[in-house]
């Protein structure tokens, strides 16, 4: 939706230097911007790029001035840009509709303003909250709950009994509530351990494309409020992820591991079963955290098996110098035995 620079400044509680009535219709990066796009400058290095941009309105730190540009001043220009973008990119009111091809159980509960795309299947006892949007081919299983203002992109599977909070966005191909992976071997075969627990997703969670989140075995898999999960992530049975944690693409978290609040897990990390990552812990890309391990509050780990970042760096520096160390040992040996 179109806004003026003044409206944006007011919305952000920010100071404006320039044309208050300037019309803003979108956001862009400086090099690709149109006149009516908002851009941002987060460091002095980028002022020049902004000056060369066609965009007329720039989010920048207090005091920054660029010739010919209207400046919205923000202590954290990138954050302010993102908040303004959320306002500018707000979707117009939807046409409320339930596509005639949707197969909806008579005893499913849909709030009156739910949008249901073509070929959606909603099973018996499911509950869809106000303002939610179910993309084409969504499958919402028996007795599952979708909160208010959720968005399921096309082709999301919600297994029976799964629960999503409010404002949850789930990307295409994600699967929530599939059976966990647990067997007991006996009498020459694998017997499946019961996978009958729940899966509960909090509010304001985003779940990436083709990500899989298993239901609990006898417990519940829990994803707290504000968690953001990238594409192709695997969360196993009974995993718990604390508020506002971030999990990057292709990471896997094994059964019963627990992540605290504000944990950051980079891409392709493997966290074995029964691990604990305390609040604010950080796992670097491709790190491997062995079974039962605890990563302390705020600690950053790297490598497989994961260890604190500075240890990793020191050890790896020596690893790279191994050929040299070997040579020095040889030299010492030669000096000792000159024959």
Residues touching a copy of itself, count (CB under 8 A): 103
Site for a copy of itself in 33-62 (CB under 8 A): none
Collapsed DSSP state (helix, strand, coil) of residue 43: coil
Tokens linked to 242: 């604390």
Task: State how far the Cα of 257 lies from the Cα of 243, in Å rounded to an integer.
Answer: 15
Catalytic residue selected from 190, 237, 274, 316: 237
Please choose, out of 51-59, 64-72, 274-282, 320-328, the segment that lies near a copy of itself by the rule CB under 8 A: 320-328
Please choose, out of 7-15, 17-25, 57-65, 77-85, the segment that lies near a copy of itself by the rule CB under 8 A: 77-85
User: Does the protein bind a copy of itself through residue 286 (CB under 8 A)?
Assistant: yes
| Cβ proximity to a copy of itself, 10 vs 42, nearer residue | 42
Cβ 234 vs Cβ 252: under 8 Å: yes
Site for a copy of itself in 292-311 (CB under 8 A): 303-305, 307, 311
Tokens linked to 328: 């020095």
Please choose, out of 14-22, 57-65, 107-115, 147-155, the segment that lies near a copy of itself by the rule CB under 8 A: 147-155
Tokens linked to 6: 């003044």
**Is position 149 annotated as part of the catalytic site?**
no
What are the φ and ψ backbone dihedral angles of 32, each rounded to 5 degrees? -105, 10
Site for a copy of itself in 15-34 (CB under 8 A): 26-29, 32
H or E element, residue 194: none
Q: Which of 213, 221, 283 is nearest to 246 (CA)?
A: 283
User: Does the protein bind a copy of itself through residue 175 (CB under 8 A)?
Assistant: yes
What does the longest C-alpha to C-alpha distance in the chain come to? 94
User: Does the protein bind a copy of itself through residue 125 (CB under 8 A)?
Assistant: no
């Amino acid at each position: 939706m179109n806004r003026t620079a003044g409206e944006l400044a007011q919305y952000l509680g920010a100071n404006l230097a320039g044309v208050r009535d300037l019309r803003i219709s979108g956001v862009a990066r400086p090099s690709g911007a149109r006149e009516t796009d908002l851009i941002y400058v987060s460091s002095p290095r980028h002022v020049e790029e902004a000056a060369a941009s066609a965009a007329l309105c720039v989010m920048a730190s207090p005091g920054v001035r660029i010739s010919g540009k209207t400046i919205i001043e923000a202590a954290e220009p990138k954050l302010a840009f993102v908040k303004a973008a959320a306002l500018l990119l707000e979707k117009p009111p939807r046409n409320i509709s339930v596509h005639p091809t949707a197969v909806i159980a008579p005893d499913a509960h849909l709030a009156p303003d739910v949008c249901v795309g073509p070929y959606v299947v909603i099973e018996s006892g499911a509950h869809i909250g106000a303002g939610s949007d179910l993309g084409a081919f969504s499958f919402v299983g028996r007795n599952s709950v979708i909160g208010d203002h959720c968005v399921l992109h096309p082709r999301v599977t919600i297994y029976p009994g799964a629960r999503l909070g409010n404002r949850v966005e789930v990307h295409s191909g994600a699967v929530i509530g599939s059976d966990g992976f647990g067997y007991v071997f006996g009498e020459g075969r694998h017997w499946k351990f019961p996978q009958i627990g729940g899966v509960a997703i909090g509010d304001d969670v985003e779940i990436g494309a083709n990500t899989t989140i298993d239901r609990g075995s006898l417990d519940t898999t829990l994803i707290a409020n504000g968690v953001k999960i990238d594409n192709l992530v695997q969360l196993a049975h009974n995993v718990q992820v604390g508020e506002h944690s971030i999990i990057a693409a292709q990471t896997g978290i094994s059964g019963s591991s627990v992540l605290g609040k504000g944990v950051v897990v980079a891409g392709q990390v493997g966290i074995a079963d029964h691990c604990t990552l305390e609040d604010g812990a950080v796992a670097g890309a491709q790190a491997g955290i062995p079974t039962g391990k605890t990563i302390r509050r705020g600690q950053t780990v790297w490598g497989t098996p994961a260890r604190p970042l500075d240890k990793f760096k020191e050890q790896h520096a020596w690893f790279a110098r191994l050929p040299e160390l070997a040579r020095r040992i040889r030299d010492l040996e030669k000096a000792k035995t000159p024959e």
